Structure 1
Amino acid sequence: MTSKVFTRAELAEAFANFEQTVARAAQTRDWDPWAEQYSEDVVYVEHAAGTMRGREEVRKWIWKTMETFPGSHMIAFPALWSVIDEPTGRIVCELDNPMRDPGDGTVISATNISILTYAGDGQWCRQEDVYNPLRFVSAVSKWCRKAEELGTLPDEAREWMKTYGANADARSTR
C-alpha cells in the first residue's frame, strides 16, 4: 500500500498508459519500456517465478519470460476488466494472455489477476500476479497440440511439451 493518495483520474490515466506500453511491447517485442514503468525499488510478486525486487531484476525476468516459449508466443496482455482502488492506490485487473494463431484462427489463452500499486509519476512500485499455473500449462498444451495437428509446432514448443505438457489437462482440473 502506498502512503500517498492519488486521484481516480491519475490512477486511470496511469493504468491506461500501462496498458498502452504493454501493448506496444507485445507488438515490438521490446520489453524495456514495460520494465521502465516500474519504480527502481519495485517489488514484483509472481507466484510461479518468485518475488523480484528492483526494476533491473524485473527487466531481466520480463525479457527471459517473453523471449522463451510459451511467453514468446503470447501476443498481447489486454485487461478484460479493472477496478480502481483509490485509498490504496491500486488497480486490480484481469489480464488475458492470448497466444498467436496456431494456423487455423484458433484463439487459445489463459488469464491472471494482477494487482498493481501506483507510486506516482507514471510508475508502479508493486505488482502481484495471481493465477493457477496449471491452467496456463493446460492452455499452452492445448495450443501445442493444435499447432502439431496443423504442422506449425516450432521446435521450442515441442521441447516444452516434453518437459511440461504431459497430462496437462488432467492436472489443471484439480
Structure 2
Amino acid sequence: MTSQPLDRALVEEAAKKSGLLWVRGAEASAARAVWHVWHEGAVCLVGDGPGEQPLPGLADGGAAEVTVRSKDKGGRLVSFPATVTELAAGTPEWAAAVAELKGKRLNAPDAERMPDRWARECRVLRLVPAGPVAALPDGDLAERPVATPATTRRPVPAALPKLLARRRKGR
C-alpha cells in the first residue's frame, strides 16, 4: 500500500469514482485504458479472454503503473505504482472480486454465465498500490493510440452537415 495516509485516501477515492483507468505493465510499451472496480484496497481487473479487455504486460508478481482519470473531465488525477497479483479461480478472493466486477461489466452477451466463462478463459487481477503517488507532470504525455484494425469505412460526405441542419429546421 502507499506510504502516506493522504496518498492512500487519494488513490482510493479516485479509483472508486472513476470507471476507467490507464495501466502500463512492466513489459508493455504503452499504457492501456481498462475498466475496473476498487475492491478491498486494490484495483481489480478482468481480461485476456474472448470478448474481454486485453491486459498486456501485466504478469502475476509483476509491477504496473496505474493512472486514474477524472470521471467528469477525463484528465489525470493521480498515478501510482502497483503490484500485480493474479487471483486463482474458485478461491474466496476470486469470488469476491468477480462479484464486484460482474456488476460493472457492461453489455456482456452472457450475463448469468459470465463468472463461469471468466474462470475458464480469463484472468482476474488485483493491482495493489505499492509506493507513493507520482508527481503530476509538467508537460504533455500524449501518446499515439495503440494500433487497431478498427477504422471508419469512408469519409463523411461533404453535404451531410447541410442535410442535418435542414432536417432540424423542418421540425
TM-score, normalising length from structure 2? 0.28
Structure ID, larger Rg:
2
Quick one: higher RCO (CA 8 Å, sep 6+), 1 or 2? Answer: 2
